[in-house]
Amino acid sequence: MSAETIRGKQSISFREAPHIVSRASIVGKKEGEGPLGNLFDRVEEDPMLGQASWEEAESALQKQAARLAMEKAGPGVPPVRYLFSGDLLGQLIATSFGVMDLKLPLFGLYGACSTIGEALMLGAMTVQGGYSDAVLALTSSHFGSAEKQFRFPLAYGNQRPLSATWTVTGSGAFVLAHSGGKARVTGATPGRVVDYGLKDSMNMGACMAPAACDTICAHLEDFGRTPQDYDYIITGDLGSVGQTLLLELAGKRGFDLEGRHLDCGMLIFDSKAQDTHAGGSGCACSAVTLASYILPKIESGEWRRVLFVPTGALLSTVSYNEGQSVPGIAHAVVIEYC
Amino acid sequence: MSEASEQEKQEYSELVKEATPVHSLGAQMLKAFLTGGIICCAGQGILNYAERLGLEKDAAGAWCSVLLVLASVVLTGLNLFGRIARWGGAGALVPITGFANSVAAPAIEYQKEGQVFGIGCKIFTIAGPVILYGTVASWLLGLIYWVLKTIGI
């Protein structure tokens, strides 16, 4: 590995790559019925988790996932010193109310559905930099709270376009430390905000595909690699529409991702049987897929190197109603077997 | 923010149009026709029944609206209206049933935010525009009607 930490235009190469020592995934009922159903740590049948509101239910998911990840890390791992967490709700209420009881210093993050990428890379930087022995990267989303905030009340009858995605209910948590575990974060490429002027908030895959392409191409250029250097390049929640567009855009930039690309949003649901249309979305989509599906494959050595690229659509109901476009962002994290 | 050039945006929006699947218009229209047709038949049934019971036409019409609204609100509460609308689209939304659903759904959702700032402020978040512009439009039409009548047309 190169001793150089600063790579190319916008990337980071970790000299002493921090390890992902434990992972936890907790999801809702619909996710439990999906193709990854039996891989999750816990499936919650009650969408309210015994709480009074969607928002509180989402907070409960975060608390559970965080506790489980720290528990699974075991006594051999130093205690978690900092939390890096975020969610989709205004002012990050799912996070602040969810992690309150953990009594750990918090860095609250907003990267829309790309949050877990941001949390992992900042966590890795903190561990590599020697600022903490262990940190926790955490995120959540909830179908109920997301629909309520971004679209309509749940009981309102309307038709979703085929390009729409389904917000994943769940929470994913990861403990990063100097050693332990069979997977580590060896590099990262933080993404830029990319705007191609699309205004359709029901086609978020299309809104985010240019950002995914921008980050992936920047990453490959910064590291001097090709898509063939990875077992898979796995985006967060582009869905089937976004995937088509990403392959097209990356092809134009000279990178052929065909056969090398997977998308968490397409992995987590069976779009036909579960009526989810283009795929899953939300902060939890990429986080729980990483915890339950991607990391086990890396830890077993089946995959040696994966580029994990959670994607986010940067909109609010205010920006949308005021006629602004829906820009995207994507953060790439290199995860390798060790 | 890294912004694409106008030409890039134009090219991309064409690419997106090609890649984005859409619902088949014919099938959607047929489903909407069936759903809307069933709701209207139910309404007509109520109307006929009420008239047979000897109610005035106006009173029978009012009963028809009230019962359809009630049915829609109950179905909303049971979480069934969403499914009907997902299948039948505008067929379920355009009749008075859709309007009732658009008021009942926020009432359920925002109840947790309290009687005043929750239900009170947000019950008309979806139906509000229909009420506002419906009232304005009928006021305008009334004005035109009055002006035409005053000048003797």
Query: Do both B30 and B76 map to the same domain?
Result: yes
Q: CA of B16 to nearest chain A CA: how many angstroms apart? A: 6
Q: Which of residues 32-71 of A touch B (CB under 8 A)?
A: 52-53
- Check whether residue B50 and residue B102 sit in a common domain: yes
Q: Inspect the interface and report whether the beta carbons of B102 and A156 lie closer than 8 Å.
A: yes
In a domain, B17, yes or no: no
Q: According to the model, what pLDDT value does residue A3 have?
A: 56
Q: Is residue B152 part of a domain?
A: yes
Domain contains B55:
yes
Phi, psi dihedral angles at A15 (to 5 degrees):
-65, -50
- Asked whether residue B36 falls in the same domain as residue B106, the answer is yes
Nearest to A106 by CA among A71, A88, A80: A80
Nearest-angstrom CA–CA distance, A281 and A294:
17
Note whether B114 and B141 are same-domain residues: no
Query: Cα A60 to the chain's mean position, in Å?
Result: 19
Which among B95, B82, B22, B110 has a CA at the least distance from the CA of A158?
B82
Measured between CA atoms, the residue of chain A closest to residue B80 is A155
**Are residue B101 and residue B130 in the same domain, yes or no?**
no
> Smallest Cα–Cα separation from A10: which of A211, A296, A232?
A211
Residues of B in contact with A244 (CB under 8 A): 19
Q: Could you tell me if residue B109 is inside a domain?
A: yes
A197/B9 touch (CB, cutoff 8 Å), yes or no: yes
pLDDT in tens, B122-139: 999 999 999 999 999 999
* Distance in Å, alpha carbon of A82 to nearest chain B alpha carbon: 29
A183-337, superfamily in CATH? Stage V sporulation protein AD (3.40.47.40)
ipTM here: 0.91
- The pLDDT profile of chain A, 338 residues, written as one tens digit per residue, is 445 799 999 999 999 999 999 999 999 999 999 999 999 999 999 999 999 999 999 999 999 999 999 999 999 999 999 999 999 999 999 999 999 999 999 999 999 999 999 999 999 999 999 999 999 999 999 999 999 999 999 999 999 999 999 999 999 999 999 999 999 999 999 999 999 999 999 999 999 999 999 999 999 999 999 999 999 999 999 999 999 999 999 999 999 999 999 999 999 999 999 999 999 999 999 999 999 999 999 999 999 999 999 999 999 999 999 999 999 999 999 999 99
3-state SS assignment for residue A324: coil
Confidence of residue B152 (pLDDT cuts 50, 70, 90): confident
- A243: chain B residues, CB-CB within 8 Å: none
The pLDDT of residue A326: 97
Task: Classify residue B13: in a domain, yes or no.
Answer: no
Evaluate whether residue B58 is within a structural domain.
Answer: yes
CB A190 within 8 A of CB A331: yes
Range of the domain at B138: 124-153
Statement to judge: residues B54 and B79 lie in one domain: yes
Interface of A with B in 214-243 (CB under 8 A): 214, 241
- Which residue from B minimizes the CA distance to A151? B126
Q: Is A161 on the interface with B (CB under 8 A)?
A: yes
Q: Is A203 on the interface with B (CB under 8 A)?
A: yes
Q: Is B7 on the interface with A (CB under 8 A)?
A: no
pLDDT of residue B3: 78
Residue A1 CA to residue A17 CA, distance in Å, equals: 10
Question: Quick one: closest CA in B to A195, which residue?
Answer: B3
Which tens digits make up the pLDDT trace of B59-109? Answer: 999 999 999 999 999 999 999 999 999 999 999 999 999 999 999 999 999
- Chain B CB contacts of A158 under 8 Å are 82, 85-86, 93
B135 and B79 together in one domain: no
Say yes or no: B49 and B110 in one domain.
yes
Query: What length is written for chain A?
Result: 338
Looking at the fold, whether B70 and B144 belong to one and the same domain comes out as no
Please tell me whether residues B118 and B130 are part of one structural domain: no
* Contact flag A156-B101 (C-beta cutoff 8 Å): yes
User: In chain A, which residues fall in CATH 3.40.47.40?
Assistant: 18-177, 183-337
Could you count the other beta carbons within 10 Å of the beta carbon of residue A136? 28
Model pLDDT, residue A2: 47
| Number of structural domains chain B divides into | 2
B123 touches chain A (CB under 8 A): no
Strand A305-309 vs strand A170-177: parallel, antiparallel, or unpaired? unpaired
Domain A18-177 maps to which CATH number in 3.20.20.10, 3.40.47.40, 3.40.50.720, 3.90.105.10?
Answer: 3.40.47.40
In this structure, is residue B1 part of a structural domain?
no
Q: Do A193 and B108 touch (CB under 8 A)?
A: no
Q: Say how many Å lie between the first and final Cα of chain A, rounded.
A: 13
Are B113 and B136 contained in the same domain?
Answer: no
Q: Establish if A272 touches chain B: CB-CB under 8 angstroms.
A: no
**Does B15 fall in a domain?**
no
B44 and B93 share one domain:
yes
CB contact under 8 A, B126 and A193: no
Which of A212, A1, A14, A211 lies closest to A122, judged by CA? A14
pLDDT of residue B1: 75
